[in-house]
C-alpha cells in the first residue's frame, strides 16, 4: 500500500492530508527518540521511517476496532451487569481500579461527574475445581468446573471522548513496538558485554598456561595436558572474538538501530495482535458450556497479545453515573 493511502486511512478524509502529514512526522520523531535520538543523524531517516510508522498507526486503528465495548461502568451497575460482575470482584473494586489512575481520579472528583472513556486491561486466570452443575431439573455434584477470575486491573487512556482514548491508544501501540525493538537492542548489548567478560577470563587463563609456571594443573596432569588446554583456550578465545565481532556488526550505531526499529514496525502484526474472547459464565464466575441449560451470560472481551509472551484481557469502558428517575422522564 502506498504512503498516500496510509495517510488517507489515517485521517479518513483526503482534505486532512496536511494534518495527517504533521501527525505522522511527529510520530516518526517520537519513534526515533524512543530508540536512540542519534537515529536523527542518519541520512533520510524520516523517508525510511514514514511508511513503517504509518503502517503501525493504521494497524493500531485495526486493533482498536476489534476491542469490544464500551461497557457502561459504575459501582451501582455491578449487580445488574454480568460483564461487570465477571470482571470486578465487587462494586468497591470498580472505584479502586479507576481511582488508581491519576487522570481517571480527576474525572471522578469533578463536580459534574462527567462521563469518560478508557481501556480496561486485566490478567485472566482460570482455575479447575469440583462444583455443582444443573442439567435440567437434575443437580449434579462434584462436577469438574472452571472458575474465571480477573486480576491486576488497570485503566489506560482515560479521556472525555472515545475518539481521544483511541488516539492515545494509537500512540501507545507505536510505543509498545518501539519498546520491543529497544529490548532487542539491549539484549544485543548485554550479549556483547557478556562475551567481552568471557574473553577477558579466557585471556587470563591463557596467560597463566603460557607463563611456564608449574601450576597445580601441570603438577597433576603434566605438561602435555597443559598444552592441550592452551590449544583449547585459544580456540575458545577465537570463537568468542568472532561472536563479539558479529554482535558489534549487528548492533552497530544509529543506522543499525534504525534497521532494528524498521524490522519491528514494518510488520506490527507479527508482534502485537488481538484475539476475541467470549466467555459464558454463571453468576459465580464458572464457565458454562454452550449447550448447557444452566443460567449464564455471555461476557465479550478480547485478549491483547505481545509476541514476547505478554497477554492481557481488555475491553473499552464508559464510566458514567446512572441517571436518576427524574432524568429518565
Asked if the structure places residue 208 within a domain, the reply is yes
Predicted local distance difference test score (pLDDT) of residue 297: 92
State the pLDDT at residue 329: 47
The overall pTM is greater than 0.85:
no
Question: Is residue 148 in some structural domain?
Answer: no
Q: What is the pLDDT at residue 16? A: 45
Q: Is the dihedral of CA 19, 180, 270, 166 positive or negative?
A: negative
Identify whether 249 is part of a domain. Answer: yes
Chain centroid to CA 248: 28
CA atoms within 13 A on the CB side of 118: 24
| Parent domain of 221 | 188-254
Provide the pLDDT for residue 68: 96
200 exposure class (CB count in 10 Å sphere: 0-12, 13-18, 19+): exposed
Element (H, E) at 72: strand 71-73
Grid cell listed for 279? 466467555
Cα–Cα distance measured from residue 314 to residue 299, given in angstroms and rounded to the nearest whole number: 11
Residue 180 lies in a domain: no
Residue 10: the pLDDT is 52
pLDDT of residue 254: 82
Chain position carrying cell 541520512: 43
Q: Is residue 240 part of a domain?
A: yes
The predicted pLDDT at position 229 comes to 65
* Per-state percent for the chain, helix, strand, coil, to nearest 5: 55, 25, 20
How far from 109 is each of 95, 98, 105, 161, 307, CA to CA, in Å?
Answer: 12, 11, 6, 17, 38
**What is the model's pLDDT at position 78?**
94
Question: Tens-digit pLDDT profile for the chain (329 aa)?
Answer: 455 555 555 555 444 445 478 888 899 999 999 888 888 888 998 999 999 999 999 999 999 999 998 999 999 999 999 999 999 999 999 999 999 999 998 888 866 667 899 999 999 999 998 877 766 677 777 778 899 999 999 999 999 999 999 999 999 999 999 988 888 887 777 776 766 666 666 666 666 666 654 455 554 454 555 566 666 766 676 777 776 666 665 556 788 888 888 999 999 999 999 999 999 999 888 999 888 888 889 999 999 998 777 899 999 999 987 665 555 54
**249: which 3 cell numbers?**
556488526
End-to-end CA distance of the chain: 52
Cβ proximity of 129 and 147 under 8 Å: yes
Give CA angle at 259 (253, 183), nearest 5°: 80
Distances from the Cα of 9 to the Cαs of 1, 3, 29, 272, in angstroms?
Answer: 11, 10, 21, 20
Examine residue 219 and state whether it is found in any structural domain, yes or no: yes
Domain count, the chain: 1
Residue 93, pLDDT score? 96
Q: What are phi and psi of 74, to 5 degrees?
A: -170, 145
Predicted pLDDT at 219 = 46
Say what the pLDDT of residue 1 is: 47
**192 within some domain:** yes
- Give domain status of residue 232, yes or no: yes
Amino acid at each position: 500500500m502506498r504512503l498516500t493511502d496510509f495517510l488517507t486511512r489515517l485521517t479518513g478524509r483526503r482534505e486532512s492530508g496536511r494534518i495527517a502529514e504533521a501527525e505522522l512526522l511527529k510520530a516518526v520523531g517520537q519513534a526515533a527518540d524512543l530508540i536512540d535520538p542519534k537515529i536523527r543523524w542518519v541520512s533520510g531517516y524520516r523517508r525510511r521511517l514514514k511508511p513503517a510508522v504509518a503502517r503501525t498507526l493504521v494497524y493500531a486503528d485495526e486493533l482498536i476496532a476489534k476491542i469490544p465495548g464500551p461497557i457502561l461502568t459504575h459501582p451501582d451497575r455491578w449487580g445488574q451487569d454480568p460483564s461487570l460482575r465477571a470482571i470486578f470482584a465487587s462494586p468497591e473494586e470498580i472505584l479502586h481500579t479507576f481511582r488508581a489512575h491519576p487522570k481517571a481520579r480527576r474525572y471522578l472528583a469533578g463536580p459534574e461527574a462527567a462521563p469518560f472513556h478508557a481501556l480496561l486491561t486485566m490478567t485472566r486466570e482460570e482455575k479447575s475445581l469440583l462444583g455443582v452443575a444443573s442439567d435440567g431439573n437434575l443437580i449434579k455434584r462434584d462436577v469438574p468446573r472452571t472458575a474465571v477470575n480477573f486480576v491486576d486491573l488497570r485503566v489506560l487512556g482515560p479521556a472525555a471522548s472515545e475518539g481521544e482514548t483511541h488516539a492515545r491508544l494509537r500512540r501507545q501501540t507505536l510505543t509498545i513496538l518501539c519498546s520491543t525493538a529497544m529490548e532487542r537492542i539491549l539484549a544485543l548489548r548485554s550479549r556483547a558485554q557478556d562475551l567481552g567478560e568471557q574473553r577477558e577470563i579466557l585471556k587470563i587463563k591463557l596467560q597463566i598456561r603460557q607463563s611456564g609456571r608449574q601450576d597445580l594443573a601441570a603438577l597433576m596432569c603434566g605438561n602435555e595436558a597443559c598444552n592441550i588446554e592452551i590449544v583449547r583456550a585459544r580456540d575458545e578465545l577465537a570463537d568468542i572474538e568472532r561472536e563479539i565481532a558479529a554482535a558489534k556488526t549487528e548492533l552497530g550505531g544509529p543506522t543499525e538501530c534504525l534497521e532494528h526499529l524498521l524490522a519491528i514496525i514494518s510488520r506490527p502484526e507479527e508482534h502485537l495482535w488481538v484475539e476475541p474472547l467470549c466467555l459464558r459464565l454463571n453468576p459465580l464466575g464458572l464457565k458454562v458450556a454452550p449447550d448447557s441449560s444452566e443460567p449464564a451470560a455471555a461476557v465479550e472481551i478480547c485478549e491483547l497479545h505481545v509476541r514476547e509472551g505478554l497477554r492481557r484481557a481488555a475491553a473499552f469502558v464508559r464510566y458514567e453515573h446512572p441517571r436518576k428517575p427524574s432524568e429518565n422522564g
